[in-house]
Structure 1
């Protein structure tokens, strides 16, 4: 069996695909990767279908040992990578594929400048889907590996017994997620807020709070006033809904959001900007702008065109991993002790 063995798990590393759809009526959240763009690009780098499950790394990644016939993998996102082979260590680049062999240990360190990064492996993980998906929803222990984050000693079997002979690919440039205000469509309960609150929401800066997680981003900023209290009859929720509880502080719902909720929603983030929010770290300052349905649809088309262009621009490095060159130019001393980088 070829597999990745978890030497150390990182802070909150989970198996995620694009989500578990079709079960919200039964109270099962969609879950899925916070940054679907990164997952799609990582899969493209190793020749997988866009929705193949990978590992989502949050803040600090795991240390993984290759067992068996080797593996081709790719990491997309600003994470520090260190490979240890035969007792010597070197740094590797993210946003590209690497060919690893039996006994190699890959340490995925801090994710810098974003909340998450994604690792994909050629052929995907040989794990049993739960309700048609390999996404992990930890709050209900739903998904592969008991529905939990990685733990030390866990083994992730790979579908491919050995990597292909294809050349390693890399992104031509880091993906541009865009900048500027997060675009929203007002509602569905915008009428539950005062006119002043709506204007304040669209003209103020908000900061991502420290207790942000996969369920949602709690924001800190000017309080938003309801017309007649925050509560509404519970109704369905989608990723990007912006609930405003009684304290007036908005909460942007993300992948692990509950299926129904009873707080009024002032606006909903358009799908094209959700990957940006999936990367937001505590302290990130956000501003919102209102767009129409037509503008939201156009933005989604633009995002899809950008992802397709990034995949079309993938280029070969001309071969596999040149360890000799890496060791001579980028050797990392003191990395053989097994300590986290």
Structure 2
């Protein structure tokens, strides 16, 4: 049967989920709660303002603002980790993954130290500050470093759960967070487990693989629209970029017509590349369409939603790719 895309898809009106607090604020509040009860925990800030007015109670002396000096920040974190501490390093993703990447590589990853790099304003969430603060390269940079766990929570609840689960990881962890509040995942979502893909929906025709709050939301919305036309899609929230859930991806890709990846990142190097690399090792790899930012800088200033649309990271882009596979 040949399927053709409808010229106009009339989606049933839905009430969007209520936004939670931003993931970065959820992390901040949880850390402030945990530090008084665990003397190993240290918060190292880079003058971001996120912790202004936060009450650390008896742990106040373990909050240190090192100023806008991200390379030094990573070096200090490594030294404190070597001395038995667990530093939570707070900085913008654009600086953690580019300006300070040598220190992350040589001081932290090489020595496999328990530093938690809490990278905020990732993707296009700092769009109001222009291209200098866009971060579209961090997944590519960080997933290449040995010993480093790379996580992308899809909402505030997930960042809280990830912090608890990674307390058992002896090496470094990179957390990728945005700036604003985002919709919570559906209440029916299965429990999060670091290192395993979260299957949010099961289908037979297509596989949508997404990472990050907005891409995951787009994947779910697109799957709903496709379902109304008799097309079913599996939706995976790939919240763990490293270690990547290769068995989970391969199992979900069995028998489908195509794979669509969605990410707030350059198409090269991130989730799309990782998915294609993984599937290329199979006997009959499915075709992969990558939705992300093309090989150019996103010009101009604007809010995150405007820049996502400008970059083509939209539900319509997902649906267009889906209809191409179904034809």
* TM-score, structure 2 as length reference: 0.25
Task: Specify which structure has the higher proportion of helix.
Answer: 2
Bigger relative contact order, structure 1 or 2 (CA pairs below 8 A, ≥6 apart): 1
* TM-score, structure 1 as length reference: 0.24
